[in-house]
Structure 1
């Protein structure tokens, strides 16, 4: 099992086997049912959030291309209306980690909605073949993903339990990049929190890869329509610090004083993912506290 250190999954030289990582099948599929087996660590102790006081549901939303987009929703019990947070997943889609994040947000007084961006091709959540996961993720184009976000936002605006005047977005790894892109596109968004999403092409990216990844967050600073908080790891081998500094400089040039990036010096990529080897409990807890403070200020006041 590779130690996943990049937002879009491993490159060939990343396959350094961890002492902790083991295929989910070897765990019997009991304690960690529903977590992405491609990244599940043997000794992981994922945070589990109960559903007491919450309403959880799955629904489908019609995307602009006509696809019936599956979404997962967790919100407090009651009429609301609750401020809304869209949750953009990692490359593994809406697996148990993402559902638990939605429950955590719901416990904090938000309605959390997680779209399944990859299901047009195949749901990657249960797959252990990283090459197949990467193929599925690669098929999700910028316009498709933004269309899915738009459809999710439209659906939210029709729900009586949702305060559609107070909407944020957060995302992890692959989904962290989606946060920057969505906040540059949709004026309805009031705040975004991006967890270690790629900001610029990787140093090793081919011209085709650099083009395929557009628009890059570093080029979108002028277009941001709401404040964005970025949470990044100083030891992230997939997102080098020069790209983080380039994003900070872009935000400064654009006068985006309400946006910023916090770097955890010793944290690797995916330091919040409590089911992976990369998990760093103290940094993850601090980042979650920053997320809640950011959203509480901008979505509840």
Structure 2
């Protein structure tokens, strides 16, 4: 058992009656060992597999705002730290291999990266092969408030285990890109965030009362949005509206559009992947964090 496991097992075990099975079964069953079923077949020739050498990695339980256990994958450099923290919000496919790999990439850059399973109460998208079933059966049932509370729990966990609360960052992809905008509005202690092709507008609902465009002018956290000019799911008109809303505020946020990229251009395991744009976007992410004072180690 790792030190993190020893420090969290007692509190976690007290929560197990809520989910009805063992700690080990809960953690192993909630974070995918490989790629999500709905993303098959994986583009093996482009899928990146970052080594864990020199890192401390694992799956640990967080305690959500409603006291529900929330598993999270983390990766950080070896050593005591404190390390700057990056919250990672997944696509609709959950915390599968790709999201875990993003955490390892960030850890190799000196960050404590943590990706909580933000769908744990509604279902496990990694085990479902039909995208529409994931959207209707899981994603549509997830309240924004719940997600923001679980991300708060991830911050608490990371900063209690080697992370630096004063150097807090975030990134997210697709569904997680939208969540990144929302969390930047929710938690003003973030130094900076990077949202990859997350929706910025949409009809309000009881579970999602606000959209990023509604919150843009009031942001105090600098957020960098990375979007594809040929993304058929996010109209450029919406992106331009978001740009206009950001200009009304004083956060210093910005949006970059890659003209030839479609949706999910950073997802190296899918046909949507565009190597040049993905690498440029990643460079911009690291530069954005550095510009806003992340430091390393």
TM-score w.r.t. the length of structure 2 is 0.84
RMSD: 1.7
Q: Distance in 1 between matches of 2:42 and 2:124?
A: 23
**Residue 298 in structure 1 maps to residue 292 in structure 2:** yes
**Residue 17 (structure 2) aligns with:** none
Matched, 1:259 2:253: yes
Q: Describe how 1:1-301 pairs up with structure 2 within 5 A.
A: 34-44=34-44, 45-134=46-135, 135-159=137-161, 161-201=162-202, 212-256=207-251, 258-301=252-295
Conserved 8 A contact 1:168-1:299:
no
Task: For 1:254 and 1:132, locate their aligned partners in 2 and report how far apart those are by CA, in whole Å.
Answer: 38
Contact 1:193 1:231 in 2 (8 A): yes
**Alpha-carbon distance between aligned partners in 2 of 1:214 and 1:143, rounded to the nearest angstrom:** 10
Q: Distance in 2 between matches of 1:73 and 1:253?
A: 36
Gaps of 5+ in 1: 1-31, 202-206
SS of structure 2 residue aligned to 1:60 = strand
- Within 2, Cα distance between the matches of 1:153 and 1:196? 23
Tell me how far apart the structure 1 counterparts of residues 58 and 41 of structure 2 sit (CA, whole Å).
Answer: 28
**Aligned residue pairs: how many?**
262
Secondary structure of 2:142 counterpart: coil
**Structure 2 counterpart of 1:25:** none
The 8 Å contact of residues 189 and 225 in structure 1, kept in 2 or not, is answered as: no
Could you say what secondary structure the match of 1:73 adopts?
Answer: strand
Q: CA deviation at 1:255?
A: 3.0
Task: Flag as ranges the 4+ runs of structure 1 deviating above 4 A.
Answer: 209-212
How far the C-alpha of 1:299 sits from its partner, in A, is 4.0
